Amino acid sequence: MTSASIELVREFGGLPDERLDRRLRAMIRSLAADPTSSFPRAFGDVAGTEAGYRFLRNPRVSPRAIVGPHIEHTWARAKTARTVLAIEDTTEVRFRGHGTREGLGPLINDGQGFFLHAALLVEAGTHPMPLGIAAYEVMVRDADDSRRKQALSNRRRHRDPHNERLRWHRVASAVARDGAAHDVSVVHVADREADEYSLLSMLIELSQRFVIRLRFDRKTVETDEWISQLVGRAPTVLEREVAIAPRVKQGDGRRKNKRPRLGRDAKLSVRATTVTFGRHKHHERTTLSELQVNVVEIVELDPPAGQEAVQWILLTTEPITTPTDLGLVVDIYRARWLIEEYWKALKTGCAYEARQLESRRTLENALALFLPLAWNMLRLRTVARATPDAPAAAALSESLLRLLRLVADAPKNRWGLRLPPNPNSADVLRAVARMGGHLPQNGDPGWLVLSRGFDELFALKTAAELFGSQLFVDQSDQ
């Protein structure tokens, strides 16, 4: 077992039944070794597989009991961090296959599944470090939910207790409560979907910090102008160059944030001002009738031909007095991409959407297993990038390192794999990605090639064990 796997096991435990607790830890050890593998493959034999399924079906097992210790460890890590971000987002979790699974609902286009909303705690910095999941919520739509929505007026929709947008309020409120209990100040970070007057009002009333991208341009109290017009006239305070990640086309690509984008080093101009705007008539239940926030506009200078300029308008409670202040706001918002990487770790790195479970209950229990596993995968990759000289043992167990070395030292191997004499964690992760088809000229490996590479590596280990070799057997893996 890797040192990372040993540490991961500590994120679980504490179930009231000792036998269930032992089973949970055994399942985690197996899944941590190869998160992409199916349950039958991970659990090793018919008895182990059936025990795993019984665990997920057990009425005494709940998602909160499984993931609760991880949430506590997440806040413990946050206490030692300097600046903590709570990056919040929603993703669609789609389960394919024939038949209807009990307790799931329709998704945006077709298929069945649920929506997962979560807050990922991150330590801000040059390489933002994921600390773990602080809160999350699973949301399942009713089949006739869209028709019910259409029947509601705007005012009734905002006051509807079943309004899907209230998931932002509930998760942000849980983060604020737990942050206060652990004496941790967090900055809530979110994309445009979080731009809701009632949410902003709640965060300000709870004395919470935030950086949220503007979605709804509003008239300001000061000049009766639009926010975008007012901040657009502010003087440029900062110019800096940052790396912009590429984006593939999503859906039909008609929405601006769904269009493809080239990755590049972009030169940005940054300006800021303070505005006050009033609440909309549909938000009459909010306590605050006006909100005063800082607004930061980031615009790309001289974008490449054929590419739209990057432009972000951010609402924030963070200070905007100096160029250093504005640089921090830019870096805080740029860290938001980390939750997108987390979703990929969950769906691709842990193959969660491929799990063949038949009910919402078992799927939610499995989700509670994989939320910390996905965090651990993201953490390991972040460590490899931030501190590439970290020991190789931080990424792979001794047995897998020996196997990787044998493959690399073979005169011919079909992956063209090579390792330096004393590899570090970055070297071995790149080698695993190479086994998954990654090409060095394509930059850092993604989750798909990493998961394919681990599949190849574990297939080799299984073959070695089946044919009687003890070379690759690590007692701590048992």
HEC-encoded secondary structure of the chain: CCHHHHHHHCCCCCCCCHHHHHHHHHHHHHHHHCCCCCHHHHHCCHHHHHHHHHHHHCCCCCHHHHHHHHHHHHHHHHHCCCCEEEEEEEEEEEECCCCCCECCEECCCCCEEEEEEEEEEEECCCCCEEEEEEEEEEECCCCCHHHHHHHCCHHHHHHCCCCCCHHHHHHHHHHHHHHHHCCCCEEEEECHHHCCHHHHHHHHHCCCEEEEECCCCCECCCCCCEHHHHHHCCCCCEEEEEEECCECCCCCCCCHHHCCECCEEEEEEEEEEEEEEECCHHHCCCCCCEEEEEEEEEEEECCCCCCCCCEEEEEECCCCCCHHHHHHHHHHHHCCHHHHHHHHHHHHHCCHHHCCCCEHHHHHHHHHHHHHHHHHHHHHHHHHHHCCCCEHHHCCCHHHHHHHHHHHHCCCCCCCCCCCCCCEHHHHHHHHHHHCCCCHHHCCCCHHHHHHHHHHHHHHHHHHHHCCCCCCCCHHHC
Query: Which regions of the chain are under pLDDT 70?
Result: 1-7, 98-99, 144-162, 249-258, 282-285, 394, 465-478
Q: What's the whole-model pTM score?
A: 0.85
**pLDDT at site 476:** 45
CATH classification at residue 225: 3.90.350.10
Cross-strand pairs, 112: 95, 106
What distance in Å separates the CA atoms of residue 96 and residue 81, rounded to the nearest whole number? 40
Is the domain of 230 the same as that of 307? Answer: yes
Is the domain of 320 the same as that of 248? Answer: yes
What distance in Å separates the CA atoms of residue 135 and residue 305, rounded to the nearest whole number? 42
**pLDDT at site 1:** 36
**pLDDT at site 456:** 80
What's phi and psi for 242, nearest 5 deg? -135, 155
| Cα within 13 Å of Cα(243), Cβ side | 6
**pLDDT at site 401:** 84
Is the domain of 327 the same as that of 233? Answer: yes
**pLDDT at site 396:** 73
Residue 22: inside a domain: no
Residue 459: inside a domain: yes
**Cβ neighbours of residue 127 closer than 8 Å, sequence gap 6 or more:** 382, 385, 386
Is the domain of 306 the same as that of 414? Answer: no
Per-residue pLDDT tens digits for 5-24: 446 788 998 888 899 999 99
Residue 249: inside a domain: yes
Residue 87: inside a domain: no
Is the domain of 246 the same as that of 328? Answer: yes
Residue 463: inside a domain: yes
Residue 416: inside a domain: yes
**pLDDT at site 121:** 98
Is the domain of 308 the same as that of 232? Answer: yes
Residue 75: inside a domain: no
Residue 434: inside a domain: yes
Tally of domains in the chain: 2
**pLDDT at site 70:** 96
Q: Quote the domain boundaries for residue 317.
A: 216-276+289-334
**pLDDT at site 274:** 97
Amino acid at 90: T
